[in-house]
Structure 1
Amino acid sequence: MRDNIIKILIMIFLMLTMNVKADDNLETVEIGQKYYEKLLESWNSIFPDKNRNAAGPKFFNFALKQSLAIDDFIEYNKLYCAVSGSLIDPGEVPDLVKIYEEETNKLMCGEYYRCCLPCSCDLMKYAKTRKVKFTFDKTDFELNVLTIKDPCQKDNFPIEVNRNYFCKENKLDKNQVFTVDDDLVIGLLHNAAECTESQLISIASNETTGQFCEFRNNQPIEEVKGGMGDIFIQMAN
């Protein structure tokens, strides 16, 4: 009898825990939906010519200027693809990716919200991550931003991208984008930390971040197809 009571209590506890998690997930999606709609409403002011190609930096800078709490800022940065500039539906499941840290060259693992499979591949090969302090509600927080080198002096800046969204003459336009030591910030690496062996195994064995990305990232640039093709690669390479 006593054993049965214990089993029932354990089952009740598990059910309550699952309900709490479900409620938390639902609340997160609802918050994300609110900000997703805000991005849609602000689309024409962010992109006057409606060209969002590779425009992750514009979304990041827009979110940073919204005077948000830290949790809301993080939610904002789950709603766009830093590589392509596409919007992402609230509640999407991120990829676990590995990115080299600029200052230390350590591999950092974290979650990346992407619109399509190739974007995770391009990010892992061409982006870096850096720890940056931000202040929200008078409190400092350290976040891992995703960066690429300043593309503004490139002779082969991709014609599919609105250069005026990022550059003023041959320098990054700091009124339109956020920079760190003259690197261009394109988005956030979520829940980032130095990679563990199990994370690296998980990334390598994943159908997308493993086999598919290995194939894509070993192709000559002119042969890269799918996703943004070579548009982001031209900017970041």
Structure 2
Amino acid sequence: MHSIKKILSLIIFVVFFSIPINSVNSQEKNYYQDIVNDWNKIFPDRNRNAAGPKFFKYIIDKDISYEDFIEYNKLYCAVSGSLISPNAVPEYVYLTENNTGKKICGEYYRCCIPCSCDLMKYSKTTKMKHKFKGIEKEFYVFTIENPCGKTDFPERVNKKYFCNGNDLDTKQVSVVDGKLVIGLLHKAKTCTQYNVNAIDRHQVTGRYCTLRNNTPLDQLQSGMGDIFIKLAR
């Protein structure tokens, strides 16, 4: 009996210490509360309109693991800048890759349905590399063109968050190949035709987005209205 207890204790010891430390730490962290606590640091004037780029920069500048990076990036909407509740269900979307023109599919955590439409129509995706704790990773990010020189820059977006004159302010936002990074495309991969067809037939990314994308800007009422579109088009 005593030997059986010793064997069981040994098994428990081996199993417990075989679990990656980063995985344990990631599960214990309250990512959402971290962001809430730092809200005024991220947005000094509390204006988060279309400020996905500020969230992304805040997260990628942290000294964190890749697993933590993924979890933090599930908690804000790249289009609106809204916080997203933990355990939200993502939308499956596709975007055009900047350098290749290929369709890249992946998961997008959004605050509301219209944001999926605006993202797919007005944003593109590109690969980005970053060194996290102990490892360098490559991943796909959402990008838009540099909006800083726009004469119709949206009044309800804080231009100082993104821009230094007509240039992107790399102290405040992340930039890849001259483009503004607004968020992370989760579980990204090259689309198959089946993936594209499924997204095009979906009640949101297909039917609803077709309706929204054909609505004149001055008639858009839902989601961010025309704020993100003016920033990104």
TM over 0.5, shorter chain: yes
- Specify the alignment match of 2:17 in structure 1: none
- Specify the alignment match of 1:53 in structure 2: 49
Q: 1:151 aligns with which of 147, 164, 172?
A: 147
- Specify the alignment match of 2:165 in structure 1: 169
- Specify the alignment match of 2:37 in structure 1: 41
Q: 2:80 aligns with which of 64, 71, 84?
A: 84
1:104 matched to 2:100? yes
- Specify the alignment match of 2:7 in structure 1: none
Deviation at 1:171, TM superposition (A): 0.9
Deviation at 1:66, TM superposition (A): 1.1
For the structure 1 residues 33 and 231, does the alpha-carbon distance in structure 2 shift closer, same or farther, using more than 3 Å as the test? farther
Deviation at 1:33, TM superposition (A): 6.8
Q: 2:198 aligns with which of 198, 202, 206?
A: 202
Rounded to whole Å, the distance in 1 between the matches of 2:212 and 2:62 is 36
- CA deviations on 1:39-87 (whole Å, 9 max, x unpaired) are 0000011111110000000000000111110011011100000000000
1:139 matched to 2:135? yes
- Specify the alignment match of 1:224 in structure 2: 220
The code of the aligned residue for 1:181 comes to D
For the structure 1 residues 130 and 218, does the alpha-carbon distance in structure 2 shift closer, same or farther, using more than 3 Å as the test? same
The code of the aligned residue for 2:66 comes to I
Q: Is the 8 A contact 1:97 1:110 kept in 2?
A: yes
Q: Is the 8 A contact 1:32 1:75 kept in 2?
A: no
The total of aligned residue pairs comes to 210
For the structure 1 residues 110 and 32, does the alpha-carbon distance in structure 2 shift closer, same or farther, using more than 3 Å as the test? farther
The code of the aligned residue for 2:223 comes to G
For the structure 1 residues 33 and 113, does the alpha-carbon distance in structure 2 shift closer, same or farther, using more than 3 Å as the test? farther
Name the TM-score, length of structure 1 as normaliser. Answer: 0.85
The code of the aligned residue for 1:88 comes to I
Rounded to whole Å, the distance in 2 between the matches of 1:127 and 1:99 is 7
For the structure 1 residues 31 and 229, does the alpha-carbon distance in structure 2 shift closer, same or farther, using more than 3 Å as the test? farther
* Percentage of matched positions with identical amino acids: 53
- Specify the alignment match of 1:9 in structure 2: none
Identify unmatched segments of 5+ residues in structure 2: 1-22
Rounded to whole Å, the distance in 1 between the matches of 2:231 and 2:121 is 13
- Specify the alignment match of 1:190 in structure 2: 186
Identify unmatched segments of 5+ residues in structure 1: 1-26
> Which 4+ residue blocks in structure 1 deviate beyond 3 angstroms?
30-33
For the structure 1 residues 41 and 100, does the alpha-carbon distance in structure 2 shift closer, same or farther, using more than 3 Å as the test? same
**Secondary structure in 1 aligned to 2:30?**
helix
- CA deviations on 1:9-35 (whole Å, 9 max, x unpaired) are xxxxxxxxxxxxxxxxxx99x849711
Deviation at 1:138, TM superposition (A): 3.5
Rounded to whole Å, the distance in 1 between the matches of 2:61 and 2:200 is 37
For the structure 1 residues 57 and 32, does the alpha-carbon distance in structure 2 shift closer, same or farther, using more than 3 Å as the test? farther
